[in-house]
Amino acid sequence: MTGSYGPPDRFNEEKATYAIRGADAPDLEGGVAAIRNVLKTLPLKPGVYRMHDAKGDVLYVGKARALKNRVGNYVQVDRLPRRLQRMVAQTRSMTIVTTNNEAEALLLEAQLIKRYRPAYNVLLRDDKSFPFILLRADHDFPRIQKHRGARRAKGDYYGPFASAGSVNNTLNALQKLFLLRSCTDGFFKTRDRPCLLYQIKRCSAPCVGRIDEAGYAELVGDAKKFLAGKATDVQAKLGTQMQAAAENMDFELAAILRDRLKALTFIQGTQFINAEGVGDADIFALASHEGLIGIEAFFIRGGQNWGHRSFFPAHTADVPEDEVLTQFMAQFYEEVPPARTILIDRVLPEAEVLVQALSDQAGRKVEMTVPQRGVRRRLLDQATRNAKEALERRLAESTTQARLHRELADLFELGEPPDRIEVYDNSHIQGTNALGAMVVAGPEGFRKGQYRKFNIKQAATDDDYAMMREVLTRRFARALEEDPDRDGETWPDLVLLDGGRGQLNAAKAVLEDLGIEDVCMVGVAKGPHHGREGREVFHLMDGRELTLPVNAPLLFYLQRLRDEVHRFAIGAHRAKRAKAIGASPLDEVPGIGPARKKALLMHFGTGRAVRNASLEDLRKAPGVSAAVAQQVYDFYHAR
């Protein structure tokens, strides 16, 4: 079976679920009993198993060549490391999914790990998708653009690039070099004169006929050659054309071609490295120190360096480095297409299975090697150096961050350094488009995947205190409902509120109403001189007020937390306001789709005219049936 894997139900023909429920308290005997009960009916087939705790949450996802043999290892607790003994002690049920082979099991395991994020699996923490360059093929004049996410649009995808910065730099150079349009199709249709990009020589203006379809297709072909690693051919072609234009005394064209050659030289200087003969390759190197593991990934396509990124997988304590790298690569390629060649810094015991799985997923052969000499070895050595340097920076940052969290615990008299800090703020303009925002930070930095925004539904939007009460009520009422025992990682150790004593009193009232007594909240106010940074006043729940020296690192950290929630709240507010500007009163009418809404607006002119129209007038609108007219009329009048 090849391709991406859907839910486990895809394997229904060979799926079996076994469960035994024991006491809620984690004990080794109960866990072993649960696993033994499953073991009796397991086949000697490849597949994936999930271990669940008493609540049904997934503790671990594993794959096996022979399920019975692999799961049987967990009942030999004396041979297990302490980490797995804790897991067995918590296990109360298992889910088994059989597959056709071990490669399928590896791909399914990676997908399930990404979905459930179990506490005992190595996790790829960086959940940001990689950017690609998309050269669309659904228009006579194809558009070049940055792309993230599912690749549904018709066209050629080039990537992955390591970061938005690297893809943006490449796009800028490609616009100078090949003059391809980057505008949307809607913008393209409405142009009657060239836009600014044409004036600054970054587009050939096909929208107004400054280049014909054949000429534009030639530019597209050159761009494809360049992105495929044939930059030398493109350079030779441009040089020949420039020389011919100069000989024909067409100096304007020669100058344009000269500028394009300069752009090509620039992008070669920034992206090309000594990767002759490598072709398309992904390079991975692992470094470890003091229990932390870092993995550096380089992306080479057609001899071009498309950037590199550092990863720091979670849950790697007591896990062998080979297993960490294998699990990392399986999860990494769950969405990213593998290169034809993968260079790694060590021999992996499961390399054969991993290569088969990636080849099946890509629909072509994938090669994985540990280079020993030549260009490939130099590239791998470069990745190894970067991995060590990134890990050193990470350790230095972690040390600084850990010290700041210890100082936070001392300042606000917490029992231990906070693992989860939540920061809240409201944003609105004179009460319109009001919303609340929450950002989350931990020892490793901001956890952007856990940010939340709250559209204000009940509170008066000109009352900041009421809005804060609504936001915190919704946040902590849900926490009480979903995790009353606080077994998960969603309860904050420290809550910071952007505001002074009034906001803090509103927050305290929420906690009292919900019966929560042990969450530390602090109000962060700007102090008596609002325009001066460093004069912040921290309001504590017992009525005390604290200040910090203006040059204290802890103060800078708290300011950074506050600035981040400001940024997030303002950005969410602007997005909401922009959406509201384009909204229509007809959007609220149930059952009215875009076509009928357009017909009503074209007939009556405005949404207000539709609201005030009589039933008879509504029936006369083209494309509007009697039933729809009655529905619109009732919505506005039958109240």
Taking phi over 0 as left and psi of -120 to 50 as alpha, with beta for the rest, 356 belongs to alpha
Q: Is 16 part of any domain?
A: yes
R_g of the chain computed on alpha carbons: 30
Final residue of a domain: which of 557, 580, 603? 580
pLDDT, residue 611, reads 76
Q: Are residues 443 and 370 in the same domain?
A: no
Of 208-217, 245-254, 291-300, 475-484, which gets the smallest average pLDDT?
245-254
Q: What is the pLDDT of residues 53-83, one digit of tens each?
A: 988 889 999 999 999 999 999 999 888 888 8
Q: Is 399 part of any domain?
A: no
Mean pLDDT, range 358-371, rounded to an integer: 91
pLDDT, residue 386, reads 92
Q: Are residues 426 and 565 in the same domain?
A: yes
Distances (CA, A) of 504 to 152, 408, 520: 48, 18, 11
Place 2 in a pLDDT band, splitting at 50, 70 and 90.
Answer: very low
Q: Are residues 597 and 627 in the same domain?
A: yes
Place 400 in a pLDDT band, splitting at 50, 70 and 90.
Answer: confident
Q: Are residues 77 and 202 in the same domain?
A: no
Q: Are residues 154 and 167 in the same domain?
A: yes
**Tokens describing residue 513:** 């109403």
Of 62-66, 114-118, 147-151, 259-263, which gets the smallest average pLDDT?
259-263
pLDDT > 90 fraction of the chain, expressed in percent and rounded: 27
Q: Are residues 202 and 223 in the same domain?
A: yes
Is pLDDT above 60 for 583? no
pLDDT, residue 465, reads 87
Is pLDDT above 90 for 280? no
pLDDT, residue 277, reads 65
pLDDT: which is higher, 368 or 174: 368
Is pLDDT above 60 for 22? no
Q: Are residues 556 and 608 in the same domain?
A: no
Number of structural domains, the chain? Answer: 5
Please answer whether residues 548 and 555 qualify as being in contact, where contact means their C-beta atoms are separated by less than 8 angstroms: yes
What's the domain range around 148?
132-271
Mean pLDDT, range 402-415, rounded to an integer: 88
DSSP string of 211-240, one letter each residue: S-HHHHHHHHHHHHHHHTT-HHHHHHHHHH
pLDDT, residue 7, reads 38
pLDDT, residue 526, reads 80
Is pLDDT above 60 for 459? yes
- Mean per-residue pLDDT of the chain: 82
Mean pLDDT, range 203-217, rounded to an integer: 90
Is pLDDT above 50 for 6? no
Mean pLDDT, range 538-565, rounded to an integer: 89
Q: What is the pLDDT of residues 616-632, one digit of tens each?
A: 878 877 777 888 888 87
Q: Are residues 360 and 432 in the same domain?
A: no
Nearest to 109 by CA among 88, 95, 130: 95
Q: Is 407 part of any domain?
A: no
pLDDT: which is higher, 335 or 206: 206
Q: Are residues 212 and 70 in the same domain?
A: no
Q: Are residues 386 and 458 in the same domain?
A: no
Q: What is the pLDDT of residues 497-545, one digit of tens each?
A: 988 888 899 999 998 888 888 889 999 988 665 445 557 899 998 888 8
Is pLDDT above 90 for 439? yes
Q: Is 224 part of any domain?
A: yes
Is pLDDT above 60 for 86? yes
Is pLDDT above 90 for 326? yes
Helix (H, G, I), strand (E, B) or coil at 524: strand
Is pLDDT above 60 for 33? yes
Q: Is 398 part of any domain?
A: no
Place 321 in a pLDDT band, splitting at 50, 70 and 90.
Answer: very high
Place 638 in a pLDDT band, splitting at 50, 70 and 90.
Answer: low
pLDDT, residue 247, reads 79
Is pLDDT above 50 for 428? yes
66-73: long-range contacts, CB 8 A cutoff, minimum separation 24 = 67/42, 67/43, 67/96, 67/98, 68/39, 68/42, 68/43, 68/44, 69/44, 71/35, 71/38, 71/39, 71/42, 72/39
pLDDT, residue 260, reads 73
Is pLDDT above 70 for 552? yes
What span, in angstroms and rounded, lies between the C-alpha atoms of 448 and 442?
11
Q: Are residues 496 and 564 in the same domain?
A: yes
Q: Is 203 part of any domain?
A: yes
Please answer whether residues 476 and 601 qualify as being in contact, where contact means their C-beta atoms are separated by less than 8 angstroms: no
pLDDT, residue 3, reads 35
State the CATH number of the domain containing residue 36.
3.40.1440.10
pLDDT: which is higher, 559 or 240: 559
Place 268 in a pLDDT band, splitting at 50, 70 and 90.
Answer: low
Residue bearing tokens 């490391």: 81
Q: Are residues 575 and 621 in the same domain?
A: no
Final residue of a domain: which of 351, 371, 392? 392
Q: Is 79 part of any domain?
A: yes
Place 35 in a pLDDT band, splitting at 50, 70 and 90.
Answer: very high
Q: Is 540 part of any domain?
A: yes
Mean pLDDT, range 219-237, rounded to an integer: 77
What span, in angstroms and rounded, lies between the C-alpha atoms of 395 and 515?
40
Mean pLDDT, range 255-273, rounded to an integer: 65
pLDDT: which is higher, 484 or 18: 484
Final residue of a domain: which of 271, 303, 323? 271
State the CATH number of the domain containing residue 320.
3.30.420.340
Q: What is the pLDDT of residues 585-603, one digit of tens each?
A: 666 676 677 777 777 777 7
Interstrand relation of 421-429 and 494-498 (parallel, antiparallel or unpaired) = parallel
Residue bearing tokens 């590199």: 308
Mean pLDDT, range 19-41, rounded to an integer: 72
